[in-house]
Structure 1
Amino acid sequence: MHLRRTTALLGILGSQACAGGPGSDPAQASALDAIGSPYVAVLSDGDFFASTYVDGQLPGPDPRYRDTLSILLPGRAGEPRSARLPDVSNSVAGPPEVLALAPDNRTAYVIELLQPRAPGMVTRDDLPPGRRLTAVDLSNPAKPRLRGFAYVGPLPEALSVHPGGRWIALTTNAAEEGIQLVAVRGQGELGPVTDIPLAALDVPTRADLPKNGLDASYLAWHPGGKLLAVNLYRQGRIVFLRFTQDAAGAPVLSRWGAPVAVDEDAYTGRFTPDGRYYVVNAWGRNFNATTPDQRLPEHPGSLSVIRLGALDAPEPVHAVVHRAESDRSPEGMAMSPDGTLVATCNMRETIFPESHPRYTREATVSLFQFDGATGALAKVGDYPFEAVLPEGIAFDASGRHLLAASFEYRGSQEPHGGLEVWRIARTPAVSLRHVGRVELPPGAHAVAVATH
């Protein structure tokens, strides 16, 4: 296998975190304190409006629009309820998988698909390709600070942290699509970057698609740390890769089993906690379309459940064992800590102006029960809520609440995003009960939850 090994540029940076958030608002404080997690991290992209997807226009030189990492701190009566770290570069232009926490919850990692806007940049096409992976020190989540960064990419699209914490895997949307593995040293210090082109991994290609179909929108580490799942979204295929290290400790990836065909636009995914299944969220966009109206589907998205072959098998056989429909335009998906619930966040047609014939004011969350014995999904329902371009979604550490990040809201006097909070009712049947909203800087789109 051909590996191109480069060295990360590491900068140790200091920053002053800004106070802010829901502390003095009783309704927001109540929603925040319902969350059963030590903290919640949410990214806001200050370089886009939701409408940028429709008209391409960026915010002007308005200080309210700024890339921000917000840290929400539930259950801290009399203490700071949140902290904000500005200028953590990130982009909503890819999947809501650009933020991840280290297993010990002491570091957050963030990638930028596009760089921040600079003076004179007025349209989406003006934004240069991103290259930065940022590490944020959360050893004291009430006082986040920039720890350092590495140059990766270009156009890094999704990242995942190894269960052991010593590797970050990311996929790039460059001309030669590939996977990059970034070494992590000590407490979140970023080390060398290893490039592994997908074309070198015996991955099937399609000559009729851009980049031969080697577009990877998402990747995820298996809970055991010995496998990576990679979503080739244009092909509608999932590729599983075995992870090893050579005698010098350098990472090696090799294909593990045959690729699995799922629905087209297989955008994101999640392994079950026991590692037996990989659940794939397919959006279903029309890639031949030239306008957002044509590209956004009018049909529901779908979830496919892949049962993995035996982990000790040299030639494992993976199989799709179930498929279920969600709602229109699902981007983010989440799995509960115990593996019994799956949810998707469906933006529907909220990005369109109110005058547009396809405009919808409400997005939805789709909730499913998951049977770990059979791999079957049973849909509980679609739950509407007012939001514009909601994407990231996560269960809290307790598994009793569901959180979704909304980019914007219609009709607000001041621009803001938000974190919508639901309680998961178990009796008389499983359902969602909306608890409230925590306001955030505009552009909220990715969410990660501390587990302990």
Structure 2
Amino acid sequence: MKKQSLVALATLLTTGVFAQQDPIQFTAKGIVVLSDADMAASALVDGNLYKSKTSRDVLTVVKFPLDRSGQNITTAPISNSSALYDKAAVVTPNGRFAFVLEGRGQLGDSVATLKGGVKDLPAAARMFIVDLAPAKPTAKVVSVGNLPTAITINPQGNTLAVASGEAGKEMRLIEIDNTGTPKRVITAASPVPGARITDLVWSPAGDFIAYVIEDTQEVGVMKFSLDAAKKPNIVPHGKPIKVGGMPATGKFSPDGKFFIVSDIKKGASAQGAGKGELFVVQFSTEDTPGEHKIVSQTASGESAEALTISPDGSMVIVANAGQSYQPFGNAGAGKSSLSVYSLDKEGKLALANEYPFEGIMPQSVEFDKSGNAIAVAVSEFLDYGDRTGAIEFWKVTKGDKPALEKMPGKINVARGSHTVRVY
């Protein structure tokens, strides 16, 4: 009897009956995270960087399934900037390469404060091509124009579109080969002459590229095509449309029918930014374009820039930074939230739930491949000493009133995490 009991116990252990549910449940091959480690979020208000001599920008690669030893988590020293929010990186559909815009360069160890805000950060013109396959990620560097602001990749994974501040060459189409190396680069002017493009998003079908221009408060699309010689080409398609006061980030619904844009109204400051809005835009994609139109708009939280749309297109989740970036003594410091909206077939958004959580400046959020979980990049916390950022995870409950539940596990990464990409 005793021998039978031992056999039964061994069977239970090997079959996992006694196993507890993993604290992180996330369906993906991996996650890429960018951390701008040499600038505290509160520097946007008081200019104080609060960095140590060991603070260095880093790219973190997380591969699933997770291992408590951390063997599936690796890093590479890749310079990047939180000034680009979550527009600084893309990953190829097969998960082999990440392309990272530097945006702004790293600061020297002797620099402790920013007197002129983000403009004090060194200008940059580099893109890193990161090979994610090796045990230790490796990177190559190419130039993509002064002060690049956004990057997107087509669904086929063979062409990048990059926006930069180079006059008359604000757009770059970069064809890449199977080693991630650029094989052809084509430049084009901004679809709004002289205007700086602040976000680019390839459509799910690959035939259009949406753009956001913060300075003119406009969004629009460009038609992408290949000529007889297979040379890529983009042309403005229809006139751009006004959306709010400070449009920030845009995402296509999975079917390409709608383009959801966050309008944050104002940038982060000591006075805060106030409530924002979400706009749902329907682009005219006929051969002869008609007018683009706003099909709905709704109120959002404060500093609600980062958003993601579920794989089935039924919900939108927005990360609200609030005033979490304020200096630690401020009442709003460290307080953020997630807002969950349902999205119907006509493009109407309805707020379902809102979830406060402790964390500073969440700037990126993405669904897993199943649509049952999200990952949120949190810049840092109300911690002292050797501070870190993190990727936090939430379980998603679908339905007419979708809901979230925070998972108990998280992945610590270098502080300043601002971009998460799931592959």
Q: TM-score, normalised by structure 1?
A: 0.82
| Mapped pair 1:244 → 2:236 | no
Please state how far the C-alpha of 1:193 moved relative to its aligned partner: 2.9
Contact 2:327/2:333 (<8 A) preserved: no
- Show the counterpart of 2:348: 376
Q: Which runs of 5 or more residues in structure 2 are unaligned?
A: 1-20
C-alpha change, 1:419 and 1:55, in structure 2 (3 Å) is: same
Deviates more, 1:251-260 or 1:382-391: 251-260
Identical counterparts, % of pairs: 26
* Residue 28 (structure 2) aligned to one of 37, 56, 63: 37
C-alpha change, 1:410 and 1:78, in structure 2 (3 Å) is: closer
SS at match of 1:53: helix
* Residue 270 (structure 2) aligned to one of 293, 309, 327: 293
* Residue 163 (structure 2) aligned to one of 171, 175, 183: 171
Please state how far the C-alpha of 1:174 moved relative to its aligned partner: 4.5
Structure-to-structure mapping, 1:208-219, within 5 angstroms: 214-219=195-200
- Show the counterpart of 1:103: 93
| Mapped pair 1:415 → 2:387 | yes
Distance 1:193 1:167 in 2: 10
Distance 2:186 2:23 in 1: 42
RMSD of the alignment, in Å? 2.3
* Residue 78 (structure 2) aligned to one of 70, 74, 88: 88
- Show the counterpart of 2:12: none
SS at match of 1:398: coil
* Residue 312 (structure 2) aligned to one of 315, 318, 338: 338
Amino acid at match of 2:327: P
Distance 1:191 1:149 in 2: 14
SS at match of 2:361: strand
Rg comparison, structure with higher value: 2
- Show the counterpart of 2:180: 188
Aligned residues: 398
Contact 2:283/2:291 (<8 A) preserved: yes
Please state how far the C-alpha of 1:192 moved relative to its aligned partner: 3.6
Distance 1:338 1:187 in 2: 32
Q: TM-score, normalised by structure 2?
A: 0.87
C-alpha change, 1:137 and 1:313, in structure 2 (3 Å) is: same
- Show the counterpart of 1:149: 141
Structure-to-structure mapping, 1:116-135, within 5 angstroms: 116-124=106-114, 125-135=119-129
Amino acid at match of 1:273: P
1:23-47 Cα shifts (integer Å, max 9, x gaps): xxxxxx9443x11111111111122
Distance 1:158 1:428 in 2: 34
Contact 1:306/1:319 (<8 A) preserved: yes
Contact 1:83/1:144 (<8 A) preserved: no
1:279-298 Cα shifts (integer Å, max 9, x gaps): 11111116xxxx9224x322
Q: Which runs of 5 or more residues in structure 1 are unaligned?
A: 1-28, 206-210
C-alpha change, 1:278 and 1:55, in structure 2 (3 Å) is: same
Please state how far the C-alpha of 1:110 moved relative to its aligned partner: 0.6
Distance 1:152 1:426 in 2: 41
- Show the counterpart of 2:367: 395
- Show the counterpart of 1:304: 279
